[in-house]
Amino acid sequence: MSGAPEQNRKRRSFKLFLISTDLQVQDDLEGPILLSRGFICQEQDQGRTRKDALWVKVLDNGLMVKIEKKYLLEISADLVGLVEPVSDLDVRLNLLNNPDNLRQLASLPTNAPLWVLIGAQDELAEAELKYIGPLSGGSSALYFGVELKGTAVGRGTCNGSNKGVRYFSCPDACGLFVPVSHIRLRHWSSRNSIDAPEKTRDRSRRTNHGVNGHRSNNDRSNQPHLRRISFNHNRPKAQLQTQDMLSRTAESTPIAIHNNPRGSSSPPPFHIGQRVCVTVDGIVHGGEVQFCGALPGRSSTHVGVLLDAPAGNWDGLYKEHRLCHIPCHLYGVLLPVSSVFAEQTSPKPILKPALSPNPKQSPTSPAPAPRPPLVLPTKQALKPPLPPPKPTHKPLLTRPLPPPKPQNLTLVSASEHTNGSHSPLRPVDDEEENEEGVDDYGGTGLETELEVGSMVEVNDPPLFGVIRWIGHLGAVKELVAGIELEQELSAGTDGSYLGERHFRCPANKGLFVKLRNCRRDSRFPVPEKPVNQVERCNSIAFADWGSERVDEHTPPVDGDEAGQLYEGSKRGIQGHLNSCYLDATLFSLFSCCSSADWVLFWPSDAETNQSSKLAQDLLRCEIVNPLRRNGYVCASKTMALRRLLEAANSNAGFTNQEKDPEEFLNKLFQLLRVEPLLKIRSVTQQAQECHLYQLFPPTLPASPAPPVNSPIPMASPASMRVASVQSLLESSFLHGGLKFAEAPSCLLLLMPRFGKDFKMFDAILPTLSLDITDLLDDTLRQCSICQAVAEWECVQCYEDLDITPGHLKQYCQTCNTQVHSHRNRASHNPVKIAVPQGTWSGPLHHTRQRMSLFAVTCIETSHYVSFVKHGPQASDWLFFDSMADREGGENGFNIPQVRGCPEVGRYLGLSEEELSRVDASSLRESARRLLCDSYMCLYHSPELSLYK
């Protein structure tokens, strides 16, 4: 009756606890589970909490268990996120001794100086703090993002990103994400700045020696006690035993385990150079020990062996830590110490004695051995410790027969019904055979790669089968796989679980196992994982294609010198992963023209705009200067710029998706914080600033053209709908009531396009010399009739067929009266235009303001290319394609190419009327792409560029 009011009450936050002693609890699905001292738990289900026990979720392994309160010690919620990423439980407990120090580290400001432990030997490296927080949306674990400084530069693992999410920005291989156990405060002073590293290192070795997982008994006894927490109570002694299976809602009785004190030192079982033998793929091999000890971040002992025969697949590295030197990965193996034997000792047999043909257990057969306790691993890195072993021989065409059922198969069921219709067969675990959860087959995280139909193996020695079903079973929270085994199993089913059928298979061949305990069938080669092309684009992968940094300002070259510099294969900017939008735009802007160079030197505050300064330096010294000096830029340089753009913008995709040049330029100029290129005034007299201008198509009817003498094949009547950039610009400004508030030094114009299948124009003629005199605001303009100072402008006259249609019309006072006195133009509404102050009479003679075409960017089927003018001659044109060729397959490299295309100069010299009569089928490929696929035309005024 009181349940509803209780649910409506505001529930208190869940408490957090620390397990004070090593415990064993019995679970109906997991079996006996060992919980280590130092594990962190979170209270669950407050409404049904008993006085003497709690349901808690263990954050270190994600399991839900019931533990007596006397073994749980409450800890502060603000400390849990800090110590949760610390995998070494001794270090975690040591950190909790000083909660004030933890809170001080958590409150450090950005750019605080730190010492960071890096490398296998935990070297102290200089660093600065850049980020404190979780690395995934649903995680409470707090990591410290640092940027390495000084001699540690280049020893990091990232550039401030983790799994594609940007948390801070720093140069490549200078960023690290570490737990709180790996950082130390760094204080500098004029007196001890030289001695600070050594003193800090010595102090850290004395007080925090447990970071490496090595601690003597004396160190343990001298440690201060945890505040509010005591671990010195007596631990009850109990022998490990297998208990009866309980239901999920039944209460489990925890059993405290008496074991040796954590950290008790013992000599390593093997010494370097000792002869040992190991078993690889069922064959015993001899070798020498090259490494013996605890793996970085783990407490279990592993042995690295240099084999006498090429039967291994380990190169001496573990999670980027060099453990020993192995000349070739085929001669190295890394195994748990339990799998390595001294040469004079024979290893345990791999296969057990064969069973009788009847899979059912006979009445006289001995009872199955008790199930050993399951030791669940603590959280580890996402990478598997070791890759799955690869066979050294070619797989057989038919799958080999599996080994007979091993006697020590870790399978528990409450019934021996072999057909499975009533057998509550539970999903089994195979981790007890794998010391402390270390999966040499890469089982950790492999469940994301397995699917229905995958050939897998479980247990050790393995049972082979095929996954027939994946889903959830009852109260099991994790995914469960239903496997059809190759061999019959006494406790197997026919694909049913607790009376419910999930798949069909022969009797005694069905097995339900947690998906995370499945491994790929090691008898077959492991399929190659897809390569992350964003991360692959680095200086190491692109070593043979690299380009050098050039710090000195390098002006562009032109004429024949530009042709010699750029023309050829492996020239221009190398494309990679949908980068053509960026490659074509940068080559157009900077390869042969200096009018946009002012963005390379735009002043910025390095302290407040660090990303802008970094992007400007990258663009100038890594891309533009090397391009102009060597004629080539590697894709790793442009990828670095793309990463900066993606980090500076909330919308992702700059590193791997297709973009448009206008989006790239807008975001680039925003990142560089430069002044807009254009200032355009509308009829409301409000000047608007922008970097590019989109042309709108005119409503100009086609006019017949007289025959012309031309070597280019002509058709009569006109065969193509053609518009020039000059007419498009004038029409757009006139109908929009726009004027340039000031003459631009660089003008980037986007062509009107309406998709691949429909174009308003068959061809757009890039005007070589663009006249913008009549598009400037507050300047002297000539009368269209008498060349006097114009005072009136008429939009309706623009399309009048009687007075040269398609050209701007402005008139002096006299001509305006005469033109609009005609009855056909009586309805026109001329507009008064601004005239600079002064006395103006007679014809006006002044230099017209013109801009020169220096590049055209084109698009065809989502691929951008560039045409660049590199000299004064009409034939001085280059064609650039950043992905013209390719070396290798999916993981190969694009080969950029630049070639001369002097033939396009003939077409650019034609008028609109002449081009409209050109036979479209006669266009050469380069000319067709320039005229029919133009996307952006780039103009500049060399005189005005000097003042920008």
- Rounded to the nearest 10°, the torsion over CA 337, 339, 344, 346 is 150
* Strand, coil or helix: 55: strand
List, as one string, the DSSP characters of 524-569.
Answer: SPPPPPPP-HHHH-STTTTGGG------S------HHHHHHHH-EE
Q: How far apart are CA 345 and CA 278, in angstroms?
A: 11
CA Rg value for the chain: 38
Structural contact between residues 21 and 256, judged by C-beta atoms closer than 8 angstroms = yes
Structural contact between residues 455 and 520, judged by C-beta atoms closer than 8 angstroms = yes
Residue-level length of the chain: 948
> What's the number of CA atoms in the CB half-sphere (13 Å) around residue 557?
16
Residue 493 amino acid letter: T
Give the distance, in angstroms, between the CA of residue 342 and the centroid of all CA atoms in the same chain: 45
Nearest CA among 787, 696, 687 for reference residue 734: 696
- Give the active site residue among 329, 691, 863, 932: 863
Q: How far apart are CA 813 and CA 783, in angstroms?
A: 9
Peptide bond into 717 cis (omega under 30): yes
Q: How far apart are CA 255 and CA 376, in angstroms?
A: 16
Residue 863 among the catalytic residues: yes
* Greatest distance between any 2 Cα atoms in the chain: 127
Q: Which residue has the tokens 């070795």?
A: 205
Q: How far apart are CA 621 and CA 552, in angstroms?
A: 8
Burial zone of 8 (CB within 10 Å; 0-12 exposed, 13-18 middle, 19+ buried): exposed
Q: How far apart are CA 783 and CA 795, in angstroms?
A: 14
Nearest CA among 20, 19, 24, 18 for reference residue 257: 24
Structural contact between residues 18 and 40, judged by C-beta atoms closer than 8 angstroms = yes
Residue 786 among the catalytic residues: no
Structural contact between residues 695 and 725, judged by C-beta atoms closer than 8 angstroms = yes
Residue 155: count other Cβ atoms within 10 Å of its Cβ: 15
Q: Which two tokens stand for residue 62?
A: 């994600």
Q: How far apart are CA 807 and CA 799, in angstroms?
A: 8
Q: How far apart are CA 384 and CA 401, in angstroms?
A: 29
* Eight-class DSSP state of 635: H
Q: Which residue has the tokens 């085929």?
A: 330
Nearest CA among 633, 637, 627 for reference residue 562: 627
Peptide bond into 461 cis (omega under 30): yes
Instruction: For 879, list phi and psi in degrees, rounded to 5.
Output: -115, 130
First CA to last CA distance, the chain = 80
Task: Report how far apart, in Å, the C-alpha atoms of 768 and of each of 82, 586, 750, 762, 850 are.
Answer: 64, 21, 16, 19, 10
> What's the number of CA atoms in the CB half-sphere (13 Å) around residue 371?
25
Helices and strands of the chain, counted as H and E runs: 19, 49
- Give the active site residue among 41, 580, 634, 901: 580
Sequence-separated (6 or more) residues with CB below 8 Å from residue 561: none
Burial zone of 295 (CB within 10 Å; 0-12 exposed, 13-18 middle, 19+ buried): buried
**Which H or E run contains 483?**
strand 480-485
Q: How far apart are CA 922 and CA 866, in angstroms?
A: 22
Q: Which two tokens stand for residue 744?
A: 């631009």
Active site members? 580, 863
